[in-house]
Amino acid sequence: MVDLATAANVVAAATTGVHGSTGSIAYGLAAIGPGVGIGLIFGHAIEAMARQPEASGRITQYMWIGFSLAEALALIGIIVPFIFGK
Amino acid sequence: MIGSVSAVAAGSSGCHIFSGCGFPSPSLESFDFKPIFSIGSFHFTKPILLVLIGMVAVIAFFWSAFAKPQLVPRGMQNLGELGLLAVRDQILRPSLGQKGDRFLPYLTSLFFFIYFCNLMEIIPFLQFPPMSRSGFPWALVATVYLTYLYLGFKQQGAWGYIRNMIPSDVPAFVLVILIPIELLRYFVIQPFTLGVRLFANMFAGHLLLLIFTLATWYLASFSIGLLFAATSAIMVLAVFLLELLVQLLQAFIFTTLAATYIADSLEGSH
């Protein structure tokens, strides 16, 4: 049975705000877009290679280029907290 | 590999889980090194030493391959030709075509220097990617930036270069937003993302390796922690394999984009 003191502590903690690293929240938000983008890139590349297997080499090359461009945004997200954080 | 990093990092102090100390998590301080020696206010640190080792390695590799080239290659020349032709056929020819062959020395040096420096992240006793100190990628980006700006202004003239940045067959109301975006892209965003991509990939990769290696050491106590330490060791292996891919990919991408930017300057992209 939860006694009155711990219940009061929980309420007090909830009303004084959320503490911790906002950098982790920042990266979590920053990873949404590139996650979708990288999934699209590889999905379309696989579909293109299934339609025309003889173009696989060229498709693979463009796939890696597109992947690194999309991934760059997620990685900028992980280093920004280090730049702007305390 | 795990032993040398953990012993140095945790200070061999026996700081394990359930012994009262918190996890010694890696942070920005993990990327700062005490100088090996100092001349006035110039500090010679480990990243500078690693970059010099990378430079000597690239020069030594290509010197031993092509010092006395034979028509039928023997020994080191085989490897050198493999590397050179890989850069020429996979990186240079798709963007620049055959008439861009004069950029082959520059692009080959760029690719192999970045790749050797990236490999230092996983070589024992070196174990630090110098490209995760942001000054080194910015220096490489400066060479690419000055190269493609100089070539663009020389080839197309000052006004022609700026005019060719903007596509010609768009309606006027789109031009209002397109002109600032295209100018920003060529002069600011392209070099910035080129440098940050390499820097952030190496930074994040080294940080991941540090976290899992330190966690393996921290969790290794004679309790249930041993199971978690084993899982962490498996994660180290997984991140190690990922880093093998990322190192080669980042060197390839940097060089490919450098070739693409040079090609845009030479021919006018629109």
Local confidence pLDDT in tens for the 270 residues of chain B: 444 454 444 444 567 777 777 888 888 888 888 998 889 889 999 999 999 999 999 999 999 998 888 888 888 899 999 999 999 999 998 888 888 899 999 999 999 999 999 999 999 988 999 999 989 999 999 999 999 999 998 888 888 888 888 887 888 888 888 889 888 988 999 999 999 999 999 999 999 999 999 988 888 877 777 888 899 999 999 999 999 999 999 999 999 999 999 998 888 765
B49 lies in some domain: yes
Overall domain count for chain B? 1
Using a CB–CB cut-off of 8 Å, the residues of A that contact B are: 61, 64-65, 68-69, 71-72, 75-76, 78-79, 82
B3 lies in some domain: no
Contacts of B162 (CB under 8 A, 6+ apart): B183
| Residue B75, phi-psi category: left (phi > 0), alpha (psi -120 to 50), beta (remainder) | left
What residue type is B63 in one-letter code? W
Q: Do B250 and A68 touch (CB under 8 A)?
A: yes
How many residues are given for chain A? Answer: 86
Q: Do A64 and B250 touch (CB under 8 A)?
A: no
Q: Do B196 and A72 touch (CB under 8 A)?
A: yes
Alpha carbon distance A56, B70 (integer Å): 35
Q: Do B200 and A72 touch (CB under 8 A)?
A: yes
Alpha carbon distance A18, A8 (integer Å): 17
Q: Do A75 and B200 touch (CB under 8 A)?
A: yes
Containing structural domain, residue B125: 11-21+31-267
Q: Which two tokens stand for residue A57?
A: 């080499």
3 state SS of B38: strand
The alpha carbons of chain B give a radius of gyration, in whole angstroms, of 23
| Whole-number average pLDDT of chain A | 85
How many residues are given for chain B? Answer: 270
Q: Tell me which of 3.40.190.100, 3.30.70.100, 1.20.20.10, 3.10.580.10 is the CATH number of domain A21-84.
A: 1.20.20.10
What residue type is A64 in one-letter code? W
Which residues of chain A are within 8 Å of residue B199 when distances are taken between CB atoms? 79
B1 lies in some domain: no
pLDDT confidence of residue B151: 92
B249 touches chain A (CB under 8 A): yes
Alpha carbon distance B257, B144 (integer Å): 10
Query: Could you tell me which chain A residue has the CA closest to the CA of B91?
Result: A61
Alpha carbon distance B140, B128 (integer Å): 18
| Number of Cβ within a 10 Å radius of residue B212 | 21
pLDDT confidence of residue A7: 62
Q: How far is B196 from chain A (nearest CA, A)?
A: 7
Alpha carbon distance B50, B183 (integer Å): 36
B6 lies in some domain: no
- Asked whether the predicted pLDDT for residue A47 surpasses 90, the reply is yes
Give which of B76, B54, B64 is closest to B123, Cα–Cα. Answer: B54
Q: What is the DSSP letter of B41?
A: T
B4 lies in some domain: no
Q: Which two tokens stand for residue B24?
A: 């010694």
Alpha carbon distance B133, B112 (integer Å): 18
Query: Could you tell me which chain A residue has the CA closest to the CA of B256?
Result: A65
Query: Could you tell me which chain B residue has the CA closest to the CA of A61?
Result: B90
